[in-house]
Amino acid sequence: MKRITILGMALLMCTILFAQQALWGDETIVSPEIHEDNTVTFRLRAPKAVKVEVTGDFLAPQKIETQFGKFDMPGRVELKEGEKGVWEYTTPEPLASELYSYTFIVDGLQMNDPANVAMIRDVASVTNVFIISGDRGDLYKVKDVPHGTVARRWYDSPTLKEQRRITIYTPPGYENSKQTYPVFYLLHGSGGDEEAWIALGRTAQIMDNLIAQGKAKPMIVVMPNGHTQNAAAPGESAREYKPAMGGGQREAVASMEDSFGDIINFVETNYRVKKNKANRAIAGLSMGGMHSSAISAQYANTFNYIGVFSAPPIATMMARNNEESAKYAAEFVKKLQVQQKNGFTLYWIACGNTDFLYQGVLDSMKKMDEISFDYTYRESDGGHIWRNWRIYLTEFAPMLFK
């Protein structure tokens, strides 16, 4: 006699509980389907829809003209309706190995792919994701290697007078060793929170894989929330969430820069870390890049490795051109001179050549050249997008603490 298992009973339960689905005519749709040649088919059952589109970073971006100049927007393409109201689109070309995100747009409304269980939250929106294997995409996959731990913790910030949520990656083996580790502070952009680098940034997978391959040293990665008007990501805070864009109050007791000492203090009193400049790195994307340059200048002799991704190291070089921003830039250049004198191992600036901040990055470097500031520049294709930030992380992390 076959042994009755709990799983077997649970499956019977499912059959009962989900029997009603059949009443509603549910049928299995495969989407996205990654074909052997790495072309991809997207499918959605939407019998009443007039127009179904898919938008995502696997499509070439559309150029949009605004009063501020030309910008890249995610591309979108129409699906065609086939049998039984199932809409379909297949990419004409194979896709390169990458992690891609996408959503459907049905008669103008954005929605997730009900057939794809892989979803990532990016602040206030959720996108579906898929990975094309074979090359770079493999770095973003969960592989059969030792895994680090990802903890959501709360630290006390005396400067901001509150508890704040923070995400911390500790490398494989941290819990069972007596070793001390170097620390990498990794900061999100204005559209992110303390979940951003873990979600679309794939930091845990990237670090696990780079460490397993011997390409990066085991290190602790600290991902705080860079919006001082919020204590945590949406839904995770005692206070009402205040979006960075689109209005709402943004009052905060102090800035990210001025309160950053609280984070360093928390990490260095709560983790087994090497507490010196040679073992501290800081990097960030967009707003987090500007935070990284500002914090590494403000906290003298604290960081040996600085990464500024898709942002002008001199914040006001991005767009403004007025007396106020010129004064800020002049003051910041003085700080950079002190930073240069104090010394560091790596100051790494990376930007995509279609990024809307590209010119600001070039202008910043021009200013930095004038004072012979010792940075390294990495230019990539593409714009202000996660694909680039994941690439920068995979290139920056291996250079740390060597």
Residue 163 pairs with which residues in a beta bridge?
156
Minimum distance from residue 343 beta carbon to its own copies (Å): 24
152 contributes a contact to its own copies by CB under 8 A: yes
> Which two three-digit tokens encode residue 223?
């991902």
Shortest Cβ 150–its own copies spacing (Å):
5
Are 137 and 98 contacting, i.e. CB atoms less than 8 angstroms apart? yes
Instruction: Break the chain down into helix, strand, coil percent, rounded to 5.
Output: 30, 25, 45
Binders in 76-135 for its own copies, by CB under 8 A: 106-112, 114, 117-121, 123-126, 129
For its own copies, the binding residues in 365-384 under the rule CB under 8 A are 384
CB of 34 or CB of 95, closer to its own copies: 34
CA-based end-to-end distance of the chain: 61
Instruction: Provide, rounded to whole angstroms, the least separation between the CB of residue 367 and its own copies.
Output: 15
| Segment near its own copies (CB under 8 A); pick from 147-155, 274-282, 336-344, 371-379 | 147-155
# chain residues binding its own copies, by CB under 8 A: 106
Cα 307-313-315 angle, rounded to 5 deg:
140
Tell which positions 245-304 bind its own copies, by CB under 8 A: 245-247, 250, 252, 255-257, 270, 286-287, 290-291, 294
Stretch 193-222 residues interacting with its own copies (CB under 8 A): none
Identify the residue among 308, 315, 336, 349 touching its own copies (CB under 8 A).
Answer: 315
Return the axis-axis angle of helices 287-298 and 256-270, rounded to nearest 10°: 80
| AA letter at 360 | G
Q: 284 by DSSP, 3-state: which?
A: strand
Site for its own copies in 324-363 (CB under 8 A): 324-325, 327-328, 356-357
Phi, psi values for residue 312, rounded to 5°: -75, 125
- 180-209 CB burial, b ≥16 within 10 A, e <16: ebbbbbbbbbebbbbbbbbbbbbbbbbbbb
Measured from the CB atom, is 149 or 376 closer to its own copies? 149
Among 75, 243, 261, 382, binds its own copies (CB under 8 A): 243
Considering only residues 6 to 25 of the shown chain, the ones binding its own copies according to CB under 8 A are 6-7, 9-20, 23
> Who contacts 102 (Cβ-Cβ below 8 Å, separation ≥6)?
32, 42, 54, 55, 56, 57, 58, 113, 127, 128, 129, 130
Binding mask 24-43 toward its own copies (x if CB under 8 A, else -) reads ----x---------------
Instruction: Using the minimum distance from each CB to its own copies, give the nearer residue, 270 or 343.
Output: 270
Closest CA to 174 of 144, 135, 198, 207: 207
Select from 191, 261, 382, 398 the one that contacts its own copies (CB under 8 A).
191
